[in-house]
Structures are given as C-alpha cells and as structure tokens.
Chains A and B, each alone.
Chain A
Amino acid sequence: MSSDAGSPVGRRVFLGLLGLGAVGVATGSTLSEWYQELAKNDPTGLASVLPGGGGWRYYTVTGEYPSRTHAEYSLNVGGLVDRPFTLTYDELVALPPTRLDRDFQCVTGWRVADVKWQGVRLADLLDRAGVQADGTALRFTCFDGEYTESLTLDQARRPDVIVAYELDGKPIGSDHGGPVRLYVASMYGYKSAKWLDNIEVTRKVIPGYWEERGYDIDAWVGDSNGRNDEQT
C-alpha cells in the first residue's frame, strides 16, 4: 500500500464541490438571470425545466392547496362601500373580461414569461360596489384561511389589476390559486393573492401576510424589496 498510496484526488474533488456550492449560492441569482435569457431562446423547452430556467413554483402558506369547485365558490366585496355584493363563479365570468399578457415575477427570483391571464378589472368591481369617501385601501382575504394582501385604492384601480379566473387559456387550477385569484401585473407575485374570496374596502392599508413578515407593502417589480428585476 505504501508503495503506491496515490494522490489525494478524492479530497480535492470533495472540497472543490463544496467550493462550487458556495460560489453557486453567492452568484446563483445572477447566473439564473443569464440562464433565463438563454432559456427564452431555447426551442426544445428543456432549459426551462432545468433549475433556474424559469417555470412555475407553487407556494402555499398553509402546507396545502385548498380546493373549491366553481359551484362552491363565491366572491364577497364589502367594507366601506355603498352596495356590498357577492358574486358566484358564473356571475364573475359573465362580466366584461380583461386579458393581460404579462410576465410573472416572484420576489424569490423566478420569473415566468408571457403568461396569459383573463379576469375582471378590480376597478369595475369597486365601481359596482361604490367606494365610500373614507375608503382608501383594500384588504384581500383568501379561503386557505391564512393568506391576506393589501393594495391602496389608487393601485387597485390600475387597469392591470384583475380578479383572474383563467391562466393560459384554462380555468385556474387549485395549485395556481384557483378558481379565482388576484393578479397585480406590475407587482411581485406575493401581491397576486391566491384563492381569493373576500375583498374589503378599508380606511387604511392593513399589511398582508408577507408584509407582516418583512416584504414591502408597495411591491413594484424592479423597485422594491431591494431587487432590480426588469419590469413585468
């Protein structure tokens, strides 16, 4: 054995891999941005399946995807309004639709390009309810029983804020927050509350689930949360 003990290649490979991991953690955010640029032009679609290449991640704060059928679903609009109302799924879908074709950017870094959304403008629902003079903000609650979100009234009236029921031409599934979720196109994904079932007009902004845990209340993509992503 002592005549040819050999070189400690194993140790070098082991330490080299640990170093690679550490460098990857430090630079992975930048690397995945480059990689996603490449993945956009990959005709095979393989690049988007591999790590960092984009594609949806499914988050839930409760550990499960709550599910509600179209028949069971209803949306309440209330709070500081003149005419509170409840819509069934069918009634919501029957309202004049708005289509948005925008990227979806998560605050943790991943981005899905060119997502096709369909829904009803939040502004239309607010007009129908008649916001009272002292109402300046909205609070969204969800039927997972945990998640909440907020918007100012001005943000909520933007034309790119919709109560969405279709994603890429299909009814929104439970994993994506269906049957109905919020979609705030210009803000980070946590604003687009999944499993939305209640909209309340409030006197002032009440920070939502992640905002109580340190995320910015005004969640503009590229101009909040210390990030500089390209706008969606």
Chain B
Amino acid sequence: MSELITVKQQGEARCEGLSYQDLLNEESIEVPAYLRENTNPFMGNDDLDVARWVGRDFHEQEKKKLWPKVWQMACREEDIPEVGDHHVYEIVDQSIIVTRTGETEFKAFINSCLHRGRILRDCDGHAEEFVCPFHGATWDINGNFKGIPCKWDFSHLDQKDMSLPQVKIGTWGGFIFINFDENCVPLEDYLSPLPEHFSRFPLHDYYKGAHVERVVNCNWKVGAEAFMESFHTLETHSEILTFTGDANSQYDTFGDHVSRSVTPMGVASPHLPEVTAEETMRDILELSGRMATDSAEGHEMPEGLTARTYVAETNREMFSDIIGEPLDDATQSELEDAILYMLFPNTQVWTGYHGNIVYRFLPNGDDHNSCIFETMILMRYPKGTKRPEPAMKNTLRPDQAFSEAPEIGGLGPVFDQDDSNMAAVQKGMIASKKGAVSLASYQESRIRHLHQTIDKYLNA
C-alpha cells in the first residue's frame, strides 16, 4: 500500500455502506497490489474560476504552456501498421506527421514544408516519401531531404539543415505519444504508475474494435471531467443505479499525471437500498455498455449467488473464450468494475480483459468553446490468431447522437446522457454570476487534481 495513505486525505468523509476496499475483501482470488492502493492526498477545497473553462486567456496559456510541454496520445500503433503509414495528429494549431519508419520504429515530424510552409500531408495514409503537393519538395520517411524541382534556383539551401524537424515520440500499451518539448521527462517517468497498474492488461496486444468521434460544444476539460467522477450517475444516468455503486466509488491520485476512479458494478447504488439481486442482474446485463452480453435473456441466476459474482463469473467465461486462455487469476473487480485511469491531460483508459474503453478529449482546433470527444474500444482476439484490422474512425456529425454509432453498443445511450450536460455546462459557466465552481471534496477530487497539475504547467 502506498505511503500516501498515512498523509491527510482529500475529504475525510465517505459514503456509508460497503467501500470498494470492503468489496475487495470478499474476493476469493488474491487481490493484486494496485487495487489495494487507496491514495488521495489533500488538495484543498477552494472554488475554481470558470475562466479555466470559458476564458480565452486560459486557452491561450494552455496553448503556450500546456500542450507544448505534455506527453499526449497521438494514435494507436495499429493505426499505422506498415512502414510509411502515417497519422496526421493535430493539437490546437499544431500539426504533426506520426509515421512508422521501421517494424517497431516511429518518428514524428512537424507537418510543414521547409520550402513555403504548406502542410506536407493533408490526412492519414501511406507514403514512400513525403512530397509537398505545392511545389514538390521531397523528404524520405525518415525526414531526410531528397530535393526540390529546379534545384538550380535553390543553391542557397545547400548549407542549410533541410531535415524535417522532429518532436519526441514514445509508445506504451500500443499507444503512440508525442511531446513537443525537447527537454521533457522520459515518457516512462511521465506514465508512472500506469504501466505497473496495467501489467495484467497487455493493451499493446488488444486491437481497436471501435473508434467514434464527435465535436461537442464545450471546452475539452468539461468533456474530460464528465468521465472523472461517478457522482453524476444519480441524476444523469439514474437507470443504471440498480447495478452501479456510484457513491461507493474510490478516487485516487498518483503523482501529477495519473488519477483513477473505481466504481463497483454489480452492486446497487447506496441511494437505492431496496434493490434485489435479481434486479441488479437483469439491468446490468441489459444496460451496461461493457458486459459481454447485452440481454438478460437466457441468464438464470443460481440461488444464493450475488449479482456481482454471477456477472463476474459470466464475464470470466466469455472473456476467456474470446481470448482463448483461462482468466483464473482475474478478480471479480477486474472482470466487471469500472476501473478508469486518466493520463494527464486528456486521455482516459479503462482496465479490463476485453472491451477496454478509451476516451480522448482534444481541443477542437483553436476554439476553446468546443472539443473533439473520441471513444475507442480495445478488444481481444484469440491467442495465436491474426490480429484483426483496427476499426476506422467513425466521425459523427455534430447533430448526430452517440447512439447512432452501433459499434459502441450500450455506451451510446449513456454518452447521449453525458452529452446532454457537456454543452450545457459550458453555456451555464459562461452565464454564471458566481463565476466559479465548487467541487465535492472527495468524489470530484480528480477534477481538482487535473486543474492543480494544469497550474503546475502554466506556472512553470
């Protein structure tokens, strides 16, 4: 257990009833250490100014001091499977070509021609070399300058370094990260303790089974924060309370860049003490976006079994079949709970053996009042079989509901409910006379953590 447990915690009060750690005590399988971590050091209870979300100045500061300094997830390795494949990653007003240069080698170039500045690649794709569509200046995929038509007119370039400028690049879990800062901390330091906590979930071996994105009319942080606390379940997703331990959730922070929420599933909300085990089971099978099945049909809960155990054991069997190997050492918690990590600033990843959800919230270009909300679902495939091709990104129109994306199944209707708040929060913050938001001490502590880390970058 972390030493942090001995320091003052953020919010001393907790919801009555079973805690997540109590549920872990009921596991019949040895609980891995990362689940026993329970750390939420005190961060204070001050209000946060709405300017952080709605102010143009704050966005300009992020543009100058946050995005140029942080490690940020650009894409999945599987998005660019062959040498020469590339992904154009755009953040605020910057554009990067992330390209595969070898079997396990990647490079990230500033997407701007060294002749007249046009972006070199307009979209994702494959290239034997990067030829600027404007005048034809050309680089090989390693960024070495190969020439420009009418060389006689460019003798003055002979003395210049014409290699394409690069930014830092690194990988973890099948994700590719970039960082504009030459002096940044190594990716592995930045990620800690994510790799250790995900050691039972080899995400580099998962494939992207779904990828959906849509513009949402709110600041990227409003979007991210919609997924950083389970407190909103009561009012926003009331139909899932029969199987969601919303107020029993545990919230942790690990250093500056990682935080976690664990929301027990397969148990009823403490707000609904009358719910029976049968109701919990029926609803989780039908309504959870993350169950192996999506219907209660054909499921008979054996006498004396809790819904939590039944669902976990059902998932154990189904996930084992999908993966093609037994999951004997998986805890019930890992088989059904919502264990969601955030990697600062804008990427969130669920743990799990199959169907791990990933969220990313990017500023929508240079607009601080809108963002691009992306969901990916990382899936497993039978060991020893060919890795399936990753899903193409499905870009929904701004007027489309997430439930119009069948590939995300039960998540769609849940996101639609979140969507009903996101733009409305932005609008309400702009209208606010109070000019500040107040956070729950414990349940919204990860949001405070996000902002305190942002401040560290902006004040550096």
A and B bound?
Answer: no
